[in-house]
């Protein structure tokens, strides 16, 4: 079994709620932390980076402790530094811990140009503008023509591109990305995401992405960690979580909108994108509904259906079903809910394995 490169088992005290999480990643692996705003994703990433104090536990990167409570540092380094001070923080400065990070909001040195900001990651704040490695990296993030520009002259998306290039320019063991593409145009996000994945893989490093966009989490991570209320509720690949959400909250975060009784322990979860017009009992659960509205989308149509079979879907809101030939408003329509998964009635934390 490949040993973990990143291991974090931490508690971070906050005013609203504590963030408690356990993460383990092998070299080359990518984790996307997905959840709503305020779920604790950024706090966890800052704890992994070693920039946020933790209340208990520790973070290890390549078997070296990079974050721990003050008592742990005093135990690890009882003699303190050369001046005799007792240590309460990591003895290794952040820039030498093997961590590269893109934070939110983006932080660039305002007095340095784009290429100088990127060069700072390698300890070369005045790189040769003709340096091939820098030129290639700036070209891949779309800043070739702005290498001499200062951050004040850049848009929000361009500043995020520069911050990503600065993080990727230096050797790293862990790449930590806190919503690094939020200000970037949609058409360019995929290219930047692929660049981060490619560099992480070539470095044999690990990467952690913070996002509230499920599509982005699915595209980036080998595994997705679903966070809510300071806890990782479930970790797994996207298909695994979609097929078997650990609990109702995970299902809701993955887009399931309604639930019906299955037995005393489980509910059936239904996703609005997993309904098909017609009766296909071999594919799922067939219910009956009344068409309440019809809308045109190009050459296709979608109809809103109010399910009127409460014994099957007791809490279902009106659903939208794509059809080729629009039925009349007020007519009855059979609808199949395909492959509805089962989720636990009581919220139970999923396994937090790497």
82: helix, coil or strand? coil
Whole-angstrom distance, CA of residue 261 vs CA of residue 249:
16
Instruction: Answer positive or negative: Cα dihedral of 101, 105, 106, 112.
Output: negative
CA neighbor of 226 nearest in space, from 23, 58, 29: 23
How many other β-carbons are positioned within 10 Å of the β-carbon of residue 91?
11
In the numeric block, which tokens belong to residue 163?
Answer: 């911050």
More confident residue, 345 or 103: 103
More confident residue, 21 or 183: 21
* pLDDT digits 0-9 by tens, 101-125: 998 888 898 998 998 888 876 666 5
Q: What is the pLDDT at residue 218?
A: 96
CA neighbor of 291 nearest in space, from 248, 264, 329: 329
* pLDDT digits 0-9 by tens, 219-272: 999 999 999 999 999 999 999 999 999 999 999 999 998 888 888 889 889 888
CA neighbor of 325 nearest in space, from 285, 296, 305: 296
- Res. 81 pLDDT band, cuts 50 70 90: low
Residue 139 has pLDDT above 70, yes or no: yes
Which of 126-140, 163-177, 192-206, 324-338 is least confident? 126-140
Crossing angle, helix 132-140 and helix 156-169, to 10 degrees? 140
Residue 87 has pLDDT above 70, yes or no: no
180: helix, coil or strand? coil
Q: What is the pLDDT at residue 351?
A: 43
DSSP category for residue 354:
-
Residue 142 has pLDDT above 70, yes or no: yes
Whole-angstrom distance, CA of residue 68 vs CA of residue 265:
39
Mean of the per-residue pLDDT values for the chain?
Answer: 86
Residue 317: is it exposed, middle or buried by C-beta count within 10 angstroms (0-12/13-18/19+)?
Answer: exposed
In Å, how far are 3, 205, 249, 286 from 40, measured between CA atoms?
27, 23, 15, 39
Whole-angstrom distance, CA of residue 307 vs CA of residue 317:
8
User: Does 30 sit behind a cis peptide bond, omega within 30 degrees of 0 on the bond before it?
Assistant: no
Find the radius of gyration of the CA atoms of the chain: 25
CA angle 15, 20, 26 (to 5 degrees): 140
Whole-angstrom distance, CA of residue 294 vs CA of residue 330:
10
Instruction: Answer positive or negative: Cα dihedral of 219, 97, 105, 161.
Output: negative
Backbone angles phi, psi at 124, to 5 degrees: -125, 70
Domains defined along the chain, listed by start: 6-243 (3.40.50.300), 272-344 (2.40.50.100)
Whole-angstrom distance, CA of residue 209 vs CA of residue 32:
5
Backbone angles phi, psi at 262, to 5 degrees: -120, -55
CA neighbor of 161 nearest in space, from 170, 151, 171, 148: 151
Instruction: Answer positive or negative: Cα dihedral of 109, 114, 119, 125.
Output: negative
Beta-carbon contacts of residue 58 (< 8 Å; ≥ 6 apart): 8, 9, 10, 65, 67, 68, 69, 72
- Indicate the helix (H) or strand (E) that contains 341: none
* pLDDT digits 0-9 by tens, 285-332: 888 889 999 999 888 899 999 886 555 555 566 788 988 888 999 999
Q: What is the pLDDT at residue 315?
A: 54
Q: What is the pLDDT at residue 258?
A: 83
Q: What is the pLDDT at residue 264?
A: 86
């Amino acid at each position: 079994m490949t040993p973990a490169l990143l291991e974090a088992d931490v508690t971070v005290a906050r005013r609203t709620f504590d963030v408690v999480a356990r993460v383990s990643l092998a070299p080359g692996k990518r984790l996307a932390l997905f959840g709503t705003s305020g779920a604790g994703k950024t706090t966890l990433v800052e704890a992994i980076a070693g920039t946020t104090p933790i209340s208990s536990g520790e973070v290890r990167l390549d078997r070296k402790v990079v974050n721990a409570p003050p008592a742990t540092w005093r135990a690890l380094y009882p003699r303190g530094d050369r001046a005799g001070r007792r240590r309460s923080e990591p003895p290794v400065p952040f820039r030498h811990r093997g961590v590269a990070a893109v934070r939110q909001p983006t932080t660039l040195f305002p007095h340095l140009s784009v290429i100088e900001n990127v060069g700072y990651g390698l300890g070369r704040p005045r790189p040769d503008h003709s340096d091939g490695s820098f030129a290639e990296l700036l070209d891949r993030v779309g800043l070739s023509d702005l290498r001499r520009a200062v951050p004040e002259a850049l848009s929000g998306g361009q500043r995020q591109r520069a911050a990503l290039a600065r993080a990727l320019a230096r050797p790293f063991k862990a790449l930590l990305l806190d919503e690094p593409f939020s200000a970037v145009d949609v058409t360019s996000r995929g290219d930047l995401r692929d660049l981060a994945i490619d560099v992480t893989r070539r470095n044999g490093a690990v990467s952690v992405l913070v996002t509230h966009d499920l599509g982005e989490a699915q595209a980036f991570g080998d595994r997705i960690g679903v966070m809510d209320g300071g806890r990782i509720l479930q970790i797994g690949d996207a298909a695994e979580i979609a097929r078997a959400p650990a609990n109702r909250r995970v299902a809701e975060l993955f887009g399931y909108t309604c639930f019906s009784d299955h037995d005393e322990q489980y509910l059936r979860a239904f996703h609005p994108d997993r309904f098909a017009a017609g009766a296909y009992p071999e594919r799922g659960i067939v219910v009956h509904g009344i068409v309440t509205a019809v809308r045109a989308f190009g050459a296709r149509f979608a109809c809103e259906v109010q399910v009127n079979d409460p014994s099957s879907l007791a809490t279902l809101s009106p659903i939208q079903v794509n059809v080729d030939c629009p039925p009349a408003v007020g007519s009855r329509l059979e609808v199949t809910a395909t492959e509805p998964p089962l989720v636990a009635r009581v919220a139970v934390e999923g396994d937090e394995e790497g």
